[in-house]
Chains A and B, each alone.
Chain A
């Protein structure tokens, strides 16, 4: 009798603490889909790169690589854009189902804290690309994206923290494997997103 009320009180406390400080509607399914987009993108990038490598002479390879740069950029931004749209749409659907709003104090805080490391990293990478120092691009994108996730994890589902730490580790390991950037990108943005997205989907979405 009495203890049942106390248990209800505690659950209510926990629920409100989470709801008021964390954005709980983040969709796990969108993580899985983002991972699949990233792997598909990596697959096409790999085809383009091996075409460049197979070119018979330097002039031919120069022409191909010149044309390919635009395609590579389009693939990268396509994957990014598609992932963001999917995440917003699925989270909006989940929020609606749970009778919560997509744009509130919690999601604003999440976004701001996610963007701080991400924009910092973005500047670094634009600088490196401009100076044609491509070797550190893959390790740095992974490391800064991981830091952004760890920073954002205080304001959303706690699984994000472990996803972030895994991706930071991959970024650091890739420092010793310069030249395999695409492989590490595929592991970080593809495989990790799919694994953690699935974990989150089965733990939180199915309610």
Chain B
């Protein structure tokens, strides 16, 4: 197997990488939490979330807290697996080049 076989293009961006990292260790996170942690603008975050949603890497759950709409995100099964493979691939490449 080639070294970069599991490097996933979908994670080839700081913000998408960040979203997945946060969702790996938290059951879920809402839009504002992600925004605060990643320090990005609404539009920027939304477009990256859309990209991950299109790959089926994250689940989206819309609900109301009181009267305010609240969207929360969680990592899907396939997203979790793909991201783990991605991290392992990163580690292998780094170890190889040491």
Contacts and interface: CB of A to CB of B under 8 A. Distances in A.
Partners in one complex: yes
Interface of A: 2-3, 6-7, 9-10, 12-14, 16-17, 19-21, 104-105
B25 A17 contact: yes
Interface residues of B, number: 19
Contacts of B90: 6, 9-10
A13 B37 CA distance: 12
Q: Which are the 6 A-B pairs with shortest beta-carbon distances?
A: A16-B21, A21-B25, A20-B22, A13-B21, A3-B97, A17-B25
Where chain B touches its partner, the secondary structure class is helix
26 contacts: A2-B93, A3-B94, A3-B97, A6-B93, A7-B94, A9-B17, A9-B90, A10-B90, A10-B94, A13-B17, A13-B21, A13-B87, A14-B21, A16-B18, A16-B21, A16-B22, A16-B38, A17-B21, A17-B22, A17-B24, A17-B25, A20-B21, A20-B29, A20-B33, A20-B37, A104-B36
A10 to B, nearest CB: 5
A19 B33 CA distance: 12
B26 interface: yes
A106 to B, nearest CB: 9
Given A6-B94, A104-B36, 17 more contacts: A3-B94, A6-B90, A7-B94, A10-B90, A10-B91, A10-B94, A12-B14, A12-B18, A12-B21, A13-B21, A14-B21, A17-B21, A17-B24, A20-B29, A20-B37, A21-B25, A105-B33
